[in-house]
Amino acid sequence: MAAYWLNGKLVNREQATVSVFDHGLLYGDGVFEGIRFYRRKAFRLEAHLRRLSHSATAIGLMLPYTLDELETAIEDVIRACTEADGYLRLVITRGEGSLGIDPALCKRATAFIIADRIAVVAPHVLEQGAKLVIASTRRLPPDGLDPRLKSLNYLNQVLARMEASHADADEAVLLNAQGYVTEGTTDNIFIVRDGTLMTPPVTDGALEGVTRDIILQLARELGITCSERTLAPYDLYTADECFLTGTAVELVPVREIDARMLHSCPGPVFQRLQNAFRDRIAGEAGENSMKRVAS
């Protein structure tokens, strides 16, 4: 299944390596995108590449390839895969430099793409719903590291994910410094109350998720009232429904948060959006139909 591309060419697994002096390894100095592909077509590739470009610009990193060249590389990697559906990780690092943090000493960025299967959520969790905990680890504030940046520095999220594992939970929710909900460790979060769909705004610390944007668009098309608004833990505990969205996880219903069982899982709004999301994937991938979630 797996395929690899490094600095302009397809390589095997043993060749897919970077220097120990690469600043992406040494300092988390770089940006990335996770991209799904279905029926050998990258899903929402333009949105992912646009976000990658913005992230690189924000940290002063010059992409070593144009977006058109990266798109071609992604197509080459997908063709090299033995399966039609999978997950891509596109990474751009500052490149090889010295042991000092000065990025000016890195002469050229490193670029690589990995294609493989990904199973972030166990099948029984997708069926029964995820168990969440609210982490004590807080989301880094925008004046420290803007949440719109998809950088290689994920230690903040890693620490929160460790809390979830220690609590025997499936995912952790990060709050910001003010105690408001931002997102999960690798996903955006939505709740439903009285038929209204709500998700935290980017200004509170949420990533501008590609899947998040699709869900908001689908909700409007389905006539579901939706809004981006500040949410507190209380809003999660008392929600009628809750679910997670992300490129890797797609859509995941939530059954409990901090040992509070939610009213409905999977709820009716989630199921409508799940069906619409699968139909959208099918349409953009050129399929006539995909398996629908039972309503």
Catalytic sites, residue numbers: 150
Q: Which residues pair with 227 in a beta bridge?
A: 198
What are the tokens at 82? 């033995």
d(CA 93, CA 213) in angstroms, rounded, equals 26
Q: Which among 121, 134, 136, 158 is positioned nearest to 253, based on CA atoms?
A: 121
Tokens of 9: 């060419």
Neighbour tally for 29: CB within 10 Å: 22
Cα-based distances in Å from 131 to 167, 189, 195, 262, 265: 10, 13, 22, 10, 11
**Contact present, 120 and 34 (Cβ < 8 Å):** no
**Sheet strands (E) in 1-109:** 3-6, 9-11, 30-38, 41-42, 86-93
Q: Give the CA distances from residue 123 to residues 3, 116, 128, in Å, rounded to whole numbers and listed in that order.
A: 25, 18, 9
E strand spans, 61-129: 86-93, 110-116
In degrees and rounded to multiples of 5, residue 33 shows phi and psi of: -140, 140
